[in-house]
Structures are given as structure tokens and as C-alpha cells.
Amino acid sequence: MDARDMEFFQKVGSAFAESMASVFSMLTGRDFQMQSEPGSLMETAAIAGLQDGPGILVKANYQKGLSGTLFFTLPLKEGTMLVDLMLGGEGAPAEELVGDSKDALAETFNQVMGSANQTLSDLAGETFAIANVEIVAMAQEAAAFTEQMGQGGFQDLRLHTSQDSLNTTVHLLFPDLLLQQLKRKLGLVEAPAAAPEPPAPASASVAATIAAPVRQAPVASGPPTDAGNLDLLLDIQLPVVVRMGQTEMQMGELLKLTPGAILELNRSADAPVELLVNGKLIAKGEVVVVEGNFAFRITEIDTRAARIRSLG
């Protein structure tokens, strides 16, 4: 394994290990530790042998920045134990994964992917996002994995999970095409050497020298302002959210919500309401009613420069 591959596995492994540990800990209320380790290249038929018994296959389908499907596999027993912890239990295993348990695990990996993709997006300078997460419980048969994953080579990245009552390994499996895409996005694929340009004729060199006078570059005190580019930015549509407050809940509490349930937020009744644009706080104010509709009256707002930066 060369230095670029080692750097890839270090960056990607850290992103997924930290995201998974954070999400598992948050949803269960228990402390999870994760460590990543590069595995081997394998064909689909060999993936069934990664588990001692029936397994769970998680499929995360990319829709932005990357194209293809990323796969996770983990033992069915430990997967159901994790769900039981999230639902407020003590980590009891189950023989199958159905109903609310399946939905809870799908949402768990959806959050893992969201957090990991944010880290990878920051590294690549480009947004990565998935469309959805699918959960498949399957027998330990090579044909079952081949049916879900197709034929081809996969790079294994092992995520070792440790917690008081749950210790297992989650395998993160990159199809070859997706692996190469991500390496390129992270700048970890050596670009092919450019062919040398043939030397120009001597007469052309002389003509170019005569025709190209040397000019002194202007000295600028800061980045130039392009009015045309600013006009383009002004037409960008951005999500605007009025936030009254927020709270954190375990997955079990979330699934128990019913009509009439009350959620207590982290903001007092007289505290200002927040206005977020593109996920960034730019103003504070209060909720009012205008012609029968809720509205937001601004009492504090960032400078215009700060608001322009929120476009990023």
C-alpha cells in the first residue's frame, strides 16, 4: 500500500469512525469508541464470509458529488443489539430486524452518512450527499450478497466498535468505481504526466517577443469586486429557517411521540427567535402575526458582508 492509499484510508477512516462513534453515542446515551483499519480487496462472494452468521447490509446511494452506492455490513445480532440500546433497552439481541427497528437503524446510518459526508466535503471542497439509506437483513449466503451488491471488486475498510455490552466490526465497502471517484475528489490520485510541448520555431519565438511588451501588473489591496458575479449571487435561492429552539432525543423517545406530546426546547419564552439562512445564523427577532399568517420581525441582524458570506 503506497503513501497515497495510506493517506486516503486515514482521512476516510477517521471521518467515518468519528461520525459513527458520535451518532451511536448520541442515540444510545452510551459511550462508543471506534477505530478504523484498512481491509483487503475482495469480490462480492467473499463478503458473506465477513460475518459468522446472518448479516445486515446497509446501502447508501449517492446523489451529489459522487455517483454510486456505498455499502456497510454488520452482524444481525449486534445490529439488533444496537437498535435495542437506541430504543431505551439494555442491548438485547433479536432474531430479525423489522418494523420500527429497521427504520431506527436506517435513520442511524443516515445520520452517520450525513456527518461523514460533511467531513469529506470539507476535505474535498465539494458537497457530497446521499439520496437515501436502505437496510437489508440477509442470510449468510454469497448469492444473497451478490444479488444486492452486484459483481465486482470492493475495498474493505473495517470500523471496530467497542462499548460495554457491544463489541463488533462494521465493514465499510467501497465499489471500485466509487473508490476511484472519492480518491480523485480528495486529490489522492496522481494525475497523468502531461506530454511535453514541441519547441516553437525560432522565428515564432522572436515574433512573440517583439509583439508582447512587458506590462506592470496592478497592485490590488484586496480581491477584486466583480459586479457581474455579485449580480449572479443575488439570484441564488437559499433555505431560510426560523428557529424557536432545539433539543436532543434518543431514538426510543422519538418513536414514542404521539399527537398531543409536548417537546421542551432549550430556549426561554422571552428569548429572541433565530433566523438561519443556508444553515447560518444571521438575525434574531420575534414571531408576529400579519394578516392571519405567522411572520418574523427582525430586531438584530448581521452586516451585509456577513450575510454575503452566508452564501458559501
pTM exceeding the 0.85 threshold for the entire prediction:
no
Share of the chain above pLDDT 70, in %: 83
Give the strand order in the sheet containing 153-162.
33-43, 153-162, 167-175, 68-75, 55-64, 129-138
CB atoms within 10 A of CB 173: 24
Q: Is 129 helix (H, G, I), strand (E, B) or coil?
A: strand
Of the candidates 238, 60, 282, which has an alpha carbon nearest to the alpha carbon of residue 149?
A: 60
Q: Are 97 and 105 spatial neighbours (Cβ–Cβ below 8 Å)?
A: yes
Residues of the chain with pLDDT > 90, as a percent, come to: 39
What band does 203 get if pLDDT is binned at 50, 70 and 90?
very low
In Å, what is the CA distance from 300 to each residue of 7, 157, 272? 45, 48, 9
Judged against a pLDDT cut of 60, whether residue 126 lies above it is answered with yes
pLDDT higher than threshold 70 for residue 232:
no
Is the model's pLDDT at 197 over the cut of 90? no
**Dist CA 145 CA 147 (whole Å):** 5
At residue 213, the pLDDT reads: 44
CA atoms within 13 A on the CB side of 191: 6
**pLDDT value at 160 more than 50:** yes
* Contact assessment for residue 158 and residue 37, using Cβ atoms and an 8 Å cutoff: yes
Q: Is the model more confident about 262 or about 191?
A: 262
Task: Check residue 48 and report its DSSP letter.
Answer: G
CB atoms within 10 A of CB 279: 9
How far apart, in whole angstroms, are the C-alpha atoms of residue 266 and residue 152? Answer: 49
The mean-pLDDT minimum among 150-159, 212-221, 228-237 falls in 212-221
Q: List, in order of start, the domains of the chain with CATH numbers.
A: 3-185 (3.40.1550.10), 263-312 (2.30.330.10)
pLDDT tier, 71 (very low <50, low <70, confident <90, very high otherwise): very high
| Whole-Å CA distances, 281 to 104, 233, 237 | 30, 19, 17
Length of the chain: 312
